[in-house]
Chain A
Amino acid sequence: MPAPPGDALVATISAERIAPLAKLYDRFAHPLDPCSPERDSGIRPPSRVKISVDTARMRDASAANASKSRTKFRLPTMSAIAIKMEQMPTPPGDPVVESVSAERIALLAKLYDRFAHALDPYSPERDRAEQVFQQEIVDLYDRLQGSKPDLHAFKRAVILRCRRHLRASDKPPSV
């Protein structure tokens, strides 16, 4: 990871000085009770920290950072990730789900998203979506021809396809 600007300067502060600063920082930056007097007392450090600058060391660190930042990483874009996920092979146990049309999966994914990712768990829309999703799954299961997996495995496989569909379309939460 490239060091942030100013890191070379901070590197000259001794570990003994950093330890009490870290303790204070932790107290006000990560309190579980933001109103506690202990948290606020952590904002004011009890004593000033004197920073001595080692210019030679700073120069060396800056040179090292500059060479690191020249290294470029090519990150995949979100759309490339989504395409890859759509192309991923289906896990064992859900070949039956392949018989479910893409349109049906899109509808099921919408229902699934509405209840499994509902930000308001008490909304009637959430409950209705769960109810319709369960009915749709049972309906699909009953219509399957030939040897069937058990209902739970089938439902899981449908959920997996729904999640892939949602990831590919990168849909924000609807409820």
Chain B
Amino acid sequence: MTECLAESDVRELAKATLSAFDHHVASLSPDLCVPFNQAAMRLEAELLTIYKFVVQIVRKEDDLERIAGWWSTMVAQCDQFAQRLHDLARAHPDCGADFFYDRVFDLRNKCQRLQEMHS
């Protein structure tokens, strides 16, 4: 039995989150604004939860290369989440998704610095 999540588990969680987001956004009325903002906010919050899991995992990890690997996975996930928010902001410019896009992009850059620092 393994104690920690594997990188593939994190990728799967992120994939499921993105899939649920796509499904939810597709069901929203395009005339509304607030639901899109809420969807963007929820997506960023879910990415933050994944980030917190990764932090807990890397705290216990001894191998710097593996730590770099975890941050690399996190960068890739941030890219995917940011792409969704970017698309949402373009499709609904007034819904405020660009605010969450900027935060995700900021998180991505921090994760990338952590990856480079440990590799």
Contact = CB atoms under 8 A, between A and B. Distances in A.
B42 interface: no
A68 interface: no
Most central of B12, B20, B110 by chain A CB within 10 Å: B110
A9 to B, nearest CB: 22
Interface stretch (A50-58, A115-123, A139-147): A115-123
Contacts of A160: 64
A124 B117 CA distance: 20
Q: Which 4 A-B pairs have the closest CB atoms?
A: A32-B16, A117-B59, A117-B55, A121-B107
Given A33-B20, A117-B58, A155 B51 contact: no
A159 B119 CA distance: 11
Contacts of A149: none
The binding surface of chain B is classed by DSSP as helix
Interface string B1-44: 00000000000110010001000000000000000000000000
B55 A118 contact: yes
Interface of B: 12-13, 16, 20, 48, 51-52, 55, 58-59, 62, 64, 103, 106-107, 110, 113-114, 117-118
Interface of A: 32-33, 116-119, 121-122, 130, 155-156, 159-160, 163, 167, 173
A11 B40 CA distance: 49
